[in-house]
Chains A and B, each alone.
Chain A
Amino acid sequence: QVRLVESGGGVVQPGTSLRLSCAASGFTFSNYDIHWVRQAPGKGLEWVALISYDGNIKHYVDSVKGRFTVSRDNSKNTLYLQMNSLRPEDTGVYYCAKRGEWEKLEIDSWGQGTLVTVSS
């Protein structure tokens, strides 16, 4: 079955960097676009980024453009989110999530999430 396991979260100070990873298994990773979606404590879901199956096309929410970079290594079945210049408002659980067969926001599998806390 599809499995997505995020790692790399932690407590960091504002202005610093963090890299999240997402290890995928149970499906042909190189065939699917993958999202990052985050959720601030007690708040709703916020879409963060989408990377195409081959890594050539990337989309970001405006609030992270220029600070976050999504990438993937299909040889390692792994997705990354490099987060620079972190702000307190970036605090939350970060999910990697697999796009389905049809729609861009058809997210048919989710990881368990990794918590990022940005605080001084």
Chain B
Amino acid sequence: QSVLTQAPSASGTPGQRVTISCSGSDSNIGSDAVNWFQQRPGMAPKLLIYSNTQRPSGVPDRFSGSRSGTSASLAITGLQSEDEATYYCAAWDDRLNGGVFGGGTKLTVL
């Protein structure tokens, strides 16, 4: 059972907009920034969003992040087949004094 809660799966068709949610608590998302990672099968994860809303250089602006209270969301617009991957949220937990990840959401592009 992960500290951060994500739906196990999501899907969309090419060109569509999809949203992936991440729910936490006051000790993690409520007090620390959320980061999002993309992991394709057999590959290391890749940073997509940091500080709730910021995109590293090279990440397309089709990807955006938001945070409200103890929840966060990753939105992907103009869905492409290459977006098929598992997406993880992560944050520091002040109560655990350690990092926590969501269980991951596997995105399927139909």
List residues of chain A with CB under 8 Å of any chain B CB.
35, 37, 44-47, 50, 59-62, 95, 100, 102-108, 110-113
Contact = CB atoms under 8 A, between A and B. Distances in A.
B35 interface: yes
B53 to A, nearest CB: 12
Given A47-B90, A110-B44, A103 B101 contact: no
Contacts, number: 78
B96 interface: yes
Task: Select the residue from A45, A100, A107, A108 with max chain B CB neighbours within 10 A.
Answer: A45
B33 A60 contact: no
Given A44-B2, A44-B104, A106 B98 contact: no
B50 A103 contact: yes
B56 interface: yes
A61 B101 CA distance: 12
Given A62-B96, A105-B35, A105-B90, 15 more contacts: A37-B45, A44-B86, A45-B90, A45-B101, A47-B90, A47-B99, A47-B101, A102-B50, A103-B51, A103-B92, A106-B47, A106-B51, A107-B45, A108-B56, A111-B44
A107 B48 CA distance: 10
B100 interface: yes
B103 A44 contact: yes
